[in-house]
Structure 1
Amino acid sequence: MAPREYGQYCGITRALELVGERWALLIVRDLLVGPRRYGELAAGLPRIPTNVLAARLKELQEAGILRRAPRSRVIVYELTPYGHELEPVVLALGAWGFKALDDPRDEQIVTPDSITMSLRTAFRPQVAAELPSTVYGARLGPDELLIRVAGPTLDVARESGPADLAFATGPGIHRLISGELAPDRAIATGVVEVLRGRGDLLDRFASTFHLAA
């Protein structure tokens, strides 16, 4: 199916024609974290039909937003410089949508890439600059993220390693980031499970990553 055309000569209209189809911006979101193989994209978007994923990748490639690139004998998809220009748009859209988040439903999940972009959206570099450097380890189901905060710099990697605070969480982490749930209540209610390290560092995490709902 050809991408939708709105019949209007406008920059917003053209942007929606390029990335407004269902799933397109979520593909861009995940590629903003880093290059991905086809299977990795499919795993990160578990409800996307395979034919739709293939169609969106083709459309985004034809629009110059992403490209196929060989990496270690496999083909990955990566954003072009034009595609990377969407990052502030995606972060702003995430912050805007965050205000409308309700409590997570049982069938809703967070993925490593989605939580990485949520953390980028919620990161407060001016606050982090006043706090000691801290490494957080977040377990999301079978996946792990290492979240390094050094002054006003944030680095999130899909890996495990030594951390000042390691915790397990799920979609409810957004209630902590919004300030709806205080860190001690997040632990008491099981939204966050401290695995190792100092539980009081969750207060620092909540100060560093905060989006008012």
Structure 2
Amino acid sequence: MVARDYGQYDGITRGLELVGERWALLIVRDLLVGPRRYGELAAGLPRIPSNILAARLKELQAADVIRRLPRSRVVVYELTPYGRELEPVVLALGAWGFKALGDPRDEQIITPDAMTMSLRTAFRPSVAADLPATAYATRVDSTELLIRVDGPVLDVTRGEGPVDFAFATDAGIRRLISGELAPDRAIACGVVQVLHGPGELLHRFATTFHLAA
């Protein structure tokens, strides 16, 4: 059984029946970053009612998109191989939605998993392949991420470690990634605050992570 039956027979319809309910793709988005406990999913989606989160998890399990596994005496949710096939779909949707992303409303937040997937969406592996390996640390509002780029390989994690360049920013990072603000201008107007390393490395970051608005 699916949560909604559109009464049509094609792949797009079936896909929407499986993951088209409200919150479902955001759960998938966060699980693309890594396995999560129920409480971690709830914390990453602070506006989701607990009964809706429970319902969506059951629906996604029934559709073989996610699975529930015991791990280190706790239960975690993770994507199945079938669920992981949604990654290019989620990234493409993120790139498409970025074009309509204006300034945030006061009540909107940036979560670590959302920021991680935004970086994966904007990452240009073919460009990064020709640049030196670089480690960045960024603080976006209260979100702190360690970003390692080694050729065409991107690794984004939470935590600390040695980096070449560290900076703080906010939702204004959208203007840097879109090319609306040049790196030098982003620093000058306060959208980016350099915390460590040469400011020139912000140019490398902006070259590596770019989405057309």
- TM-score of the superposed pair, with normalisation by structure 1: 0.96
Q: Which string of whole-angstrom CA distances, capped at 9 and with x for unpartnered residues, describes residues 52-74 of structure 1?
A: 11111111011110011111111
Offset, 1:191 = 2.0
Partner in structure 2 of residue 9 of structure 1: 9
- Cα distance in 1 for residues equivalent to 2:189 and 2:23: 33
Quote the Cα distance in structure 2 between the aligned partners of 1:101 and 1:75. Answer: 35
Query: Could you tell me which residue of structure 1 aligns to residue 129 of structure 2?
Result: 129
Question: CA-to-partner distance for each residue in 1:62-98, whole Å, 9 max, x for gaps?
Answer: 1110011111111000000010000010011111111
Q: CA deviation at 1:170?
A: 2.2
**Quick one: distance in 2 between partners of 1:5 and 1:58?**
17
Shift of 1:199: 1.7
Moved more, 151-160 or 168-177: 168-177
Distance 2:74 2:188 in 1: 45
Tell me the equivalent position of 1:158: 158
AA aligned to 1:109 is: I
Kept in 1: contact 2:110–2:143 (CA 8 A): no
Give the alignment of 1:20-169 within 5 angstroms: 20-169=20-169
Displaced runs of 4 or more, over 4 A: none
Supply the distance in 2 between the matched residues of 1:143 and 1:9 (Cα, whole angstroms). 42
How many angstroms apart in 1 are the aligned matches of 2:99 and 2:143? 26
CA-to-aligned-CA distance 1:104-154 (integer Å, 9 cap, x gap): 222222111111111111111111111111000011334321100111111
Identity of aligned residues (%): 79
Q: Is the 8 A contact 1:138 1:168 kept in 2?
A: yes
1:168 maps to a residue whose letter is A
The one-letter code matched in structure 1 to 2:185 is: R
In the alignment, what sits opposite 1:201? Answer: 201
In 2, Cα distance between equivalents of 1:194 and 1:23: 35
For residue 203 of structure 1, report the CA deviation from its aligned partner: 0.7
Q: 3-state DSSP class of the match of 2:36?
A: coil
Aligned residue identity for 1:128: A
Say whether the 8 Å CA contact 1:109–1:170 is kept in structure 2.
no
Backbone CA RMSD of aligned residues: 1.4
Where does structure 1 lack aligned partners over 5 or more consecutive residues?
none
Please report the TM-score for the alignment, with normalisation by the length of structure 2.
Answer: 0.96
Equivalent pairs counted in the alignment come to: 213
**Quick one: which amino acid aligns to residue 49 of structure 2?**
P
Gaps of 5+ in 2: none
Label 1:102 to 1:141 Cα distance change in 2 as closer, same or farther (>3 A): closer
* Alignment check: 8 A CA contact 1:67 1:77 kept: yes
Deviation at 1:196, TM superposition (A): 1.4
The separation in 2 between residues aligned to 1:119 and 1:73, in whole angstroms, is 32
In structure 2, how many angstroms separate the alpha carbons of the residues matched to 1:198 and 1:106?
Answer: 32
Do the aligned partners of 2:140 and 2:171 also contact (CA within 8 Å) in 1?
Answer: no
- Corresponding residue for residue 187 of structure 1: 187
